[in-house]
Amino acid sequence: MSTKSDAAPLPPASANVKPLNYREQFQGREVVSRFIDPCEAASKATMACMNKHNYDREKCLDYFQAYRECKNAWIEQRKDDRRNGRPSS
């Protein structure tokens, strides 16, 4: 069983604001999945923060905000791509 001191330090919340390029996430896959998440790093950082702080949400608000900003940027990117006729996958 690990203790809090054994855990790796959390990355800064601001490091996960920008989503990965979702087109790159889809490339190389035979089956396109709707479960590809370019904001997976932000999601995992948020959960790591929650685990580290015994699920005290108040201590992880920066991570939640970074995840929201990442998802909003990703959704806007996909909307722009569809409006401009670019493939979304």
pLDDT in tens, 31-73: 556 677 889 999 999 999 999 999 999 999 999 999 999 999 9
Number of C-beta neighbours around residue 54 at 10 A: 8
Checking if the pLDDT of 89 tops 90, the result is: no
Residue-range domain boundaries for the chain: 18-23+38-82
Alpha-carbon distances, residue 86 vs 10, 72, 76, 79, 89 (angstroms): 36, 19, 13, 10, 9
21-32 per-position pLDDT tens digit? 766 666 666 655
Report the predicted TM-score, pTM, of the whole model to 2 decimal places. Answer: 0.68
Q: Which of 13, 40, 44, 10 is nearest to 24 (CA)?
A: 40
Q: How confident is the model at residue 2 (pLDDT cuts 50, 70, 90)?
A: very low
